[in-house]
Structure 1
């Protein structure tokens, strides 16, 4: 055997390595690779390397300073991802073997697969040649043919350049924009970073826009009319409508606020006229109907996004939960094909595979046996809509592998497997046939419509089921002549009072659809074409993007709905004002993708693209660094007269709506007005329209608000408070909260002569928190009396032209610290006794029922720090069980461990910036 006689094949996933070895034959399975006389086959697990963080490029970047931005590396460097060093070293050891003549890229057929291989190739530090295996089908025959027609790796250099540019441009935008925006927007009262990313920020903008549409809506009352009619054989109902109504030609943004509809009556006079005409002609009612047969075609197979949307719609599952279940079904149970796919099609050579899968299921008694036998009898239908190489990208659609479960599935795994299996079978069945009926009943000039649909032939619906309870039956109006006008009897008419509802908040299903099809809203035809099929994000990352928005407190999930928080809305708003709103638009992804596709075709150089990204990043940083808060709101009209000073006007700022006579200086001026309405109250964003309404009406509402934890919702009326801005009130204006300042809202106050910090303090219990002000006024230092001024030992100097009148000396104060603890902390309601113990002893007892952001329980004691803040000290399991209630460690923790925690936090923040 020649010294260098083998090729090292690197796949993207272990399962693919196994498929290649099985198809080629002659392999022996080693611990971490396969080996034959011609090949070594080993695998990655997705990306094994990642770009270095800024602080790893230069320690100065550990501190987030505006003067250090932008960060524009001369060279982008990579490091092993956490937990992947051993895998990388194993691949490198294989690459260095003397009998390895070169490396074969068998990663997925696409841009990311190219990047994964090239990252590994560079890490191996070998100059051996490379080849590219490009597979879109994983049948044994396709694999063997693929090895026969491999090309040189250099022929894919353009694709590799595009892959690197995509990763590096995301790093540039994310790292720089996140640091710049965080430094400008973060205040002492806000925690965490203001993360910005090419995908996550446009996604946030979609949610924020819908949230504002929802909040701005004001219910408008209207009437509908329902008539009851009868024939000799049956009774039926019909809804009044205006046959002359025409829907205006509005774009989607305006149409969402348009409330006029053909069946709505907004005027009492119009309602009276309709009822008068109805009564006049009620004995002359006639009806006619049209019955049409409607074909409902069988559905497409699932790609990941479609599976996530369907699971959210049918099962209420989040995109993240759906992906996790599908991944387990692929990796652990081997029941589904690779789930992170954007294709709804199968390769054209998969017909036999599909037939064999259905044959396997037809032999096993299940609820799907009948459907499988039906398909085996009729053969695979709809093949032209399912098997198409043109629409198979890196991976094909999600389908069952044909392997039967070896253990009973439960929970999410069972639900997702069942959904995929039903979809798979339904795709090859006959179309469903519906009988749709529209009956029009006329009473004078008034029209009433009755619509029903009856399932005639279930077809694929037999296995997939109905979406809603929309199937109903309506006997024929005239058996002999179905389309004839027939007299009917009027029974009654019922006016119903309703009110318009706000645009529904986005569900994950709807958001995933918008992310996938966002190109439709772009005016530039070339950019729109690029995003038409891809959208923003990828099927593999969209669920993670949504979860990140929730973790970063930009979005809340309530049931199926996603609600943008005040923080999320303010970020999108301020980006548009700086203006760097390109960061929150899908056009940024479209323009980058357009250039990357040109690069793949050799029409754009990597160096040219990266220079454009450097320039764009520098522009974003400069605009963020130099904007002035007052300037970005100066063109907005005022919202009304200040209700406190009566002289000023209320205008919008970043944190709230304040009087323009507010003075931002330490010296209080005579005309200063401190009135402000903050932009958040009880987890609701306070938008301009609400402020205008409150300032104009004094009592406004009702508006939707949540409780203090954001878990339930109710309606509240609002009125003005001179100090608190707006407060809840009864419908007649009776306040539900104090109208005055913060310190008067105190529910309970208690003085502690000494605390753990060796300082006295005053406890204040407010509606939402316990607070303590350490360092009270020293009562032994009395203000100097003006009556004793002439006896002072230090009279005014003669050089002074005119002595200023003596003012009482201000009482001297010791240095103060403020401690604050929420009354509800990590899901746990804290007691006043807990807080007293915390102040007096420096620690609470161990508390066992805290909950993390992900809902996981944990136990901890709270320790008082010298600066008045608190920190968690996590409790051992013995303490959790009550065997050891001491939370103080026997030895002081090493400083190194604290540093390690800080570094870890910094690293996480940096990672958050890039998506």
Structure 2
């Protein structure tokens, strides 16, 4: 018997439709003329909790940390016990197994871990479903691969899962206990990705709170060359007085003197140099999930989780390809579908997309088609299934629009323009003028309405000039400006920061190394992490723009944790190692050993750290904890937050600790 194991029931149903013979749905599986299809519900198995390794871990105690499993344990999730028995029984009956998990790191692990759990020895092949339309599924069934080819991908997912357990289980306990000893009645969840993400928002908020506005001046002049007026900006000399640390003109007196001198000078301006370079801007790549989430956030104000949920719906309706993709490239074999997809888009009941598709040239082969850039999945694109655009919800229409727009752009020419840079001398001062002339609008035609593209294309055009020309000075102006504080994160811009994490690392040596890393978290988890931080009360959304602001527990968590876990340096490096592992260039055992050592060192730091006390009654005995009201056998009493290290206790008197006044002798001793 051939057994397909899908990640979820919806995927199993689509596979069944594409297999020959009569289809019959049973309890937990589907039979067809060419095998049986069963499914999980995501992860059927879960990581064991610390107390499931040893009951003593049920109580949180600093002396038990770190908890490092010698042999990792998985347990069947309570909600999946019935389905697990179905899957296990079918594996026992199968002669051949086809792994049909999602085509990513996590999808690989959640079927593999079930096969390992039941000690499967039968041959396993892998189906990679990047889209759920009939043509794509049949093509994938005809292109099965040996599941052993994906061992590295599985180990990468396993490494991620176990590293997250080590960090989460140990550091959450270590720093919660440390905070509670200082009187903070709270639980502090620490996460390998979640914590540095939260810290980005906390640091940004503090930058805004501590921001000091700086006033400065920009000086520019208009010149006339053969009847065409253009603007050039003043360039300060190296020893120019009146500049601030950022090289801006901050001295009002010098700005006025400069403006006056420019206005009254009689000498002509002279072109010192004028260079024109042809620039070619390649087509914007198709979309990964993160790119889609950021674009949808900026254009429509959608939060990342909503974008993922909508992309998932479009995928399940067979209209777009697999959504949890971190890839922006396409397999070369997919070029055979371009004619059908573009024809479908040109017949859409959506004027813009239809108009753009009608002008697309499918003979153009953009850089997006590159087999070397493809792993288990490819960029998110429309499928060959015709879309009933009017039948979609507004959110679905908008997300489909962005996916289709990026796909159509692949069949427009390269954007070509001339970039000109002129340097002028006037009144013994240097001026720089920049301009561009678009020679071929190309793919930017379909993005011309976007604000960012408009800004770029609206840059001034310069007249033809050569070295030695003497344009006529028209007027000067000095504009007073003020620096602005950095903008608060939204869910979309925070997600973009997680993806471009190299911009936020503390160690300058790591910036270059991490520039090519795919950020922290994965395409599938980034939106969930941001959503959890909001739901657990560490971030809150404010105003219509839904700006993210940290709450008091967020400040506490970031302030008491060491930089190793609040800055993204280490997490980004680990993510890089996970990618190397997926490519077969890093070891699971070595990585986990490093994680265990790292976890142990941070647990030790938690035991030694000093945290500001929170409470109205500092403990008079140890002076390191605070007295907290408790209920005992004989009623209320006040005990030290550092119990059992400090066993100080006092009776309750009118809801305050009844602390005896020190005697004269005690005062002398103290």
**Secondary structure, counterpart of 1:146 in structure 2:** coil
Deviations 1:809-865 (A, max 9, x none): xxx9963499xxxxxxxxxxxxxxxxxxxxxxxxxxxxxxxxxxxxxxxxxxxxxxx
| Post-superposition offset of 1:306 | 1.1
Q: Relative to structure 1, is the Cα distance of residues 416 and 503 closer, same or farther in structure 2, using a 3 angstrom cutoff?
A: same
| Post-superposition offset of 1:71 | 3.2
CA distance in 1, matches of 2:193, 2:435: 43
CA distance in 1, matches of 2:186, 2:599: 22
Q: Relative to structure 1, is the Cα distance of residues 460 and 485 closer, same or farther in structure 2, using a 3 angstrom cutoff?
A: same
- Aligned match of 2:4: 9
Q: Is the 8 A contact 1:239 1:448 kept in 2?
A: yes
Q: Is the 8 A contact 1:522 1:528 kept in 2?
A: no
1:575 equivalent to 2:566? Answer no
Q: Relative to structure 1, is the Cα distance of residues 400 and 489 closer, same or farther in structure 2, using a 3 angstrom cutoff?
A: same
The aligned runs of 1:297-336 (5 Å cut-off) are 297-331=282-316, 333-336=317-320
Q: Relative to structure 1, is the Cα distance of residues 499 and 24 closer, same or farther in structure 2, using a 3 angstrom cutoff?
A: same
Q: Relative to structure 1, is the Cα distance of residues 186 and 453 closer, same or farther in structure 2, using a 3 angstrom cutoff?
A: farther
CA distance in 1, matches of 2:253, 2:573: 51
1:518 equivalent to 2:501? Answer yes
| Post-superposition offset of 1:163 | 3.5
TM-score by length of 2: 0.78
The aligned runs of 1:761-910 (5 Å cut-off) are 815-816=654-655
- Aligned match of 2:529: 545
Q: Relative to structure 1, is the Cα distance of residues 219 and 81 closer, same or farther in structure 2, using a 3 angstrom cutoff?
A: same
**Secondary structure, counterpart of 2:442 in structure 1:** coil
| Post-superposition offset of 1:351 | 1.0
CA distance in 2, matches of 1:140, 1:330: 13
Q: Is the 8 A contact 2:154 2:582 kept in 1?
A: no
Once superposed, what is the RMSD of the aligned Cα atoms?
A: 4.1
The aligned runs of 1:66-215 (5 Å cut-off) are 66-81=62-77, 83-97=79-93, 100-121=94-115, 125=118, 127=120, 129-133=122-126, 135=128, 139=136, 142-147=139-144, 150=146, 160-186=154-180, 192-215=186-209
**Secondary structure, counterpart of 1:225 in structure 2:** strand
Q: Relative to structure 1, is the Cα distance of residues 43 and 465 closer, same or farther in structure 2, using a 3 angstrom cutoff?
A: farther
| Post-superposition offset of 1:602 | 9.1
Q: Relative to structure 1, is the Cα distance of residues 94 and 407 closer, same or farther in structure 2, using a 3 angstrom cutoff?
A: farther
CA distance in 2, matches of 1:74, 1:474: 66
- Aligned match of 1:621: 603
The aligned runs of 1:93-492 (5 Å cut-off) are 93-97=89-93, 100-121=94-115, 125=118, 127=120, 129-133=122-126, 135=128, 139=136, 142-147=139-144, 150=146, 160-186=154-180, 192-229=186-223, 233=227, 235-242=229-236, 260-261=246-247, 264-282=248-266, 284-285=268-269, 293-331=278-316, 333-367=317-351, 368-375=353-360, 378-383=361-366, 385-401=367-383, 402-405=385-388, 407-436=390-419, 438=421, 442-453=425-436, 455-468=438-451, 469-470=454-455, 471-472=457-458, 477=463, 485-491=469-475
CA distance in 2, matches of 1:393, 1:514: 24
CA distance in 2, matches of 1:454, 1:654: 63
| Post-superposition offset of 1:10 | 0.9
The aligned runs of 1:655-666 (5 Å cut-off) are 666=620
Gaps of 5+ in 1: 1-5, 247-257, 630-652, 657-661, 670-811, 819-915
1:46 equivalent to 2:42? Answer yes
| Post-superposition offset of 1:540 | 0.5
Q: Relative to structure 1, is the Cα distance of residues 105 and 515 closer, same or farther in structure 2, using a 3 angstrom cutoff?
A: same
CA distance in 2, matches of 1:406, 1:431: 29
CA distance in 1, matches of 2:549, 2:605: 29
Q: Is the 8 A contact 1:214 1:502 kept in 2?
A: yes
Q: Relative to structure 1, is the Cα distance of residues 369 and 499 closer, same or farther in structure 2, using a 3 angstrom cutoff?
A: closer
TM-score by length of 1: 0.59
Deviations 1:50-87 (A, max 9, x none): 22333555555454333443333454433444744444
| Post-superposition offset of 1:196 | 0.7
**Secondary structure, counterpart of 1:207 in structure 2:** helix
Q: Relative to structure 1, is the Cα distance of residues 816 and 399 closer, same or farther in structure 2, using a 3 angstrom cutoff?
A: same
CA distance in 2, matches of 1:592, 1:129: 32
| Post-superposition offset of 1:106 | 2.9
| Post-superposition offset of 1:165 | 3.7
Q: Relative to structure 1, is the Cα distance of residues 290 and 519 closer, same or farther in structure 2, using a 3 angstrom cutoff?
A: closer
Q: Is the 8 A contact 2:44 2:77 kept in 1?
A: yes
Number of aligned residue pairs = 612
CA distance in 1, matches of 2:127, 2:295: 31
Deviations 1:716-749 (A, max 9, x none): xxxxxxxxxxxxxxxxxxxxxxxxxxxxxxxxxx
| Post-superposition offset of 1:175 | 1.1
The structure number with the bigger radius of gyration is: 1
Q: Is the 8 A contact 1:536 1:586 kept in 2?
A: no
| Post-superposition offset of 1:463 | 2.1
The aligned runs of 1:561-600 (5 Å cut-off) are 561-565=547-551, 567-576=553-562, 581-582=564-565, 584-588=567-571, 590-591=573-574, 594=577, 597=580
CA distance in 1, matches of 2:416, 2:175: 56
| Post-superposition offset of 1:302 | 0.2
1:498 equivalent to 2:481? Answer yes
| Post-superposition offset of 1:183 | 1.6
| Post-superposition offset of 1:341 | 0.6
Gaps of 5+ in 2: 624-650, 658-670
CA distance in 1, matches of 2:253, 2:405: 53
Higher relative contact order (CA 8 A, sep 6+): 2
| Post-superposition offset of 1:410 | 3.6
| Post-superposition offset of 1:281 | 1.0
Q: Is the 8 A contact 2:195 2:565 kept in 1?
A: no
| Post-superposition offset of 1:20 | 4.5
1:534 equivalent to 2:505? Answer no
Q: Is the 8 A contact 1:186 1:194 kept in 2?
A: no
Q: Bigger shift: 57-66 or 47-56?
A: 57-66
